[in-house]
Structure 1
Amino acid sequence: MVYVLASAILAAIAAACALFALHSRRELASALDEIDRMKEERQVIIEFLHRSADDIGSGANREKIYKRIVRATALSCGAMSACVYEKSPDGRLVAKACEGLFPPQTRKIEKQKSGELRAEFIEDALRREVVEPNEGVLGEVAASGKGVLIRDALKDPRVIRHEDESLKIRSLMVVPLVFRGQLGGVLAVANPISGRAFTETEFSLARSLGEQCALALQNAEAVSALIMKNKLEFDLRLASSVQRYLLPENLPEIPGLEFAVKYLPQQLIGGDFYDFFKLPSGKIGVVIGDVSGKGISAAILMALCQTKLRYIASTGKSPAQTLKILNSEMVRAMRSDMFITIIYAILDPSSGEAKFARAGHEPPLLARAGSDGPAVPVKSRGMALGMVSEELFDSVIEDASFEMGPGDVLALYTDGLTEAADPRGTEFSAKKLAETVSTLRSRNANDLNEEIIKSVETFMAPEKKYGDDLTLLTVKKL
């Protein structure tokens, strides 16, 4: 009897220990998940601060910092769109920068004008949008200074319901930009790319980014002091070696065409890249691109992109079809906070025919030999690689064609050139670049590039400090 009782007691103790161990393991797993989440959020904030400091150190104006804010927030939170609103002296909120198609929040979009691109139409509507104090969710957040997470925005009467399916807000986060108790604006983030509702984790990340945004805007020196950190020398050297290996050593020598490239990375590792390759038809492929971020991850992504692009292009597909396939393959290899803007052009040296597709990159400029006016941007629609779903990417991107006659000049470039700023913060701009290309179009390709860079550095004088990597690729028809 004693033995049976002792056995029962021991069994009960063992069961209790097992239950306690299971509960402890669950608590440990939950704690580890929370630690991982905090580490991930901390890394996002550190990267954002680092990039903001680069902008501030280069003398960036508020508009450029706003652009950095919305891009970093949308990518980090996995959102389709984001918009930052600045508080004006009269207390109203004014939209300053937008990433993606962010729906206006004070009124429904008017009927789209005939022939006007939807993205341009929405951007114009946002530029004219003013949010009154306490108006809607944005005004509520500005008045209270507290962020709002709306998981199901379709059921919330505070959120504008647009008829256009692509403008409907299904989930929304709005956070204040507050520095030392002073409201500078609000940051709104809409619609996760995954299609689900925003989570508390993403809301926490958005709030943290909002706090750091306010800090970056209000105290540039403090931000610079906070985020200064050294990158590992090994990573820098390795990424730099990879990049040097990938970029063409020599320019192509093609009868009928003249090429020149100016590549000025601002660190050991640049985010820009370019490429040339001959196609089976006797035509030549020309590529220019810009990978988000820097360092070894950007260099590896660049290597994947260039290798895959060369292979796909060798099959003879059109530029748009090539980029569709490239996006489909690259999106699976890219982190959610990375993307690539790119132009892929196919040039026919004999006929002068050119066909290209543009995935979120700056439009190329074409200067005609017989024209006295500025070079004109050759536009086509397209979104950056890895930024949106394959379906949306494929539905937007398109081919554009034109012909180059003798003496015509085609200039492809990255935003580091047009965003180069003078001491007052005024950017060189695409308009000034177009005028400069037109003025210099009689020069050979190499001299034209050199003179453009001189013009930009004269504009920036006396500091002549670029805020971003710069690549200028020029093609002249002989």
Structure 2
Amino acid sequence: MSDQHPNTRRTDRFDLRAIYETSQLLSSSLDLEFVLSNLLRTAMGKLLVTKGAALLYDPLAAAYSIPAVKGISGLEKGGSLVLTNVDLENTMQDDRVPAQLQEVGIKLVFPVAFGHREIGLIGLGGKFTGQPFEDQELEFMASLVNMSSAAVHNSLMVEELKLANRDLDSKVQQLNTLFDLSQEFNSTVDRSGLVKLLTFALMGQMLVKEHIFLIRSMSDDTRTDSGVHIVTAKGIRKDELSSDVTEALCKVEELVLLDGENTPEGCEILKEKGFSLILPIRQQGEVGALLCLGAKMTGQAYQPDEIEFLYALGNLAFVSLHNSYLVDDQLEKERLEEEMRLAREIQERLQPTELPKFDGIETASLALPSRHVAGDYFDAIELDKDRILYAIADVTGKGVPASLLMSNLQACLRILVPLDLSLEEGTAHMNRVITENTGYDKFITYFHGIFNKKDSSFKYVNAGHNPPTLVRADGSIELLEEGGLLLGVLAGMPYESGTVTLNPGDVLAMFTDGVTEAMSPEGEEWGEERLEPLLASIRTKTAEAILDDVHEAIKEFTHNAPILSDDLTMIVLKTT
């Protein structure tokens, strides 16, 4: 027979039944708040304490959250604590309780674990009677916590599953939203529509009003000096985003939260205007855009999944807006190409499509622009039944400016021809007009001459042009150099003429420097030293054949370069 006192046996049975009943109650529920509240209430009732708290360990934050608290003013439900010197194996009492819990009146702490997982802590204040805890009470609480840990663990798992499901639902919603947005972004290249779409997405999904979206290295006239185009700015004026601010933003490579310590130098105005973060948008490893956001209207901080959503949204906006600029560039390019094509057609009409046929002389011509339009000019004007004028010129530069000056020269020549001026007078008048109507850095090398079939004479004036090469029937070579200064340098300059007789079999080649300065792939010029011997060797051929041979020699020398280094123009005359 046992000699244990009957009251002790009743207490043991009561305590064992309480443990069992509490365990069954807690195991019947998967509500974490219910489980922790009842566990805490049972512990406080059995140990006669008025203060208690349940703490759950968050391994990501390395801190303890407070889901349940009773009678402790220093702890707030929903708050968190970072504790030190926590004994996860044994009950902690009095001085062994972590100092942070001692400060709020907790005298007794029981670790809660399930398997190898740390779940949290149950903390209790002292007994309201002021008496110390008895061993029997400590054993009861240890058993209660141990048997209840499975229920706490299960309810915690349910909460984590609920949270995971909410996160999954949120992810699905974000993906659906991004899918819908991608369709809308891809359906238009209208920049204002894309900006509105971005604005509505930020307000609808993130509840954010203040935002800035910048795109780097856009070829647009409204770019800032730092190479950043301000696509949209809400909550701050565009003129407040100075070049210093945008240059500072260009240096941001990673996500930046704008607080007192992390605000990049030069971006203080964003902090002052209530912006919370700077998000660089990368494409192919390079930062192509920057998204700056203000605080959410809810006052909540940005969560990691929201940051991911913003990255995806920023990339959608960047690609679509970048494409809109590319479309604009393409349309502008096509417009310019069409304008250049029309300019080329007009220029071709200003020059003869073929040289006039004239008794006693064969002619051939070639004009190849290095760009759409050229600065070279040639012409042939029949003055009367016995005389014909040939002209060739080269305007400084290339492209549109040179072609406009060439058109001016052509008009000037066509106006002067009916006045029946001498070559010297005509050249002087042209020089005056060109000088008065062009800048100091624009000038023209010019050569013109008149062939008279009565006496086979060729009278000419050379205004600084490449001297035409006259190859006599016997192979000897003369250069036509008489004249004066090139056009457009100084008004009032006098010009002299020269005269040669073109005998049967003689060949006269007039050309611009695009012929002699044609470049090989190695950067060598073709030069007069190749042109003159070639002309002498093929002088017996027809004018057309001579021109073709020169052209073929140049193409071979330049390896048939698709883009010429300069405009190339040549006229070949051969007397018969």
The structure that has the greater radius of gyration is 2
Asked which structure has the greater RCO (Cα within 8 Å, sep 6+), the reply is: 1
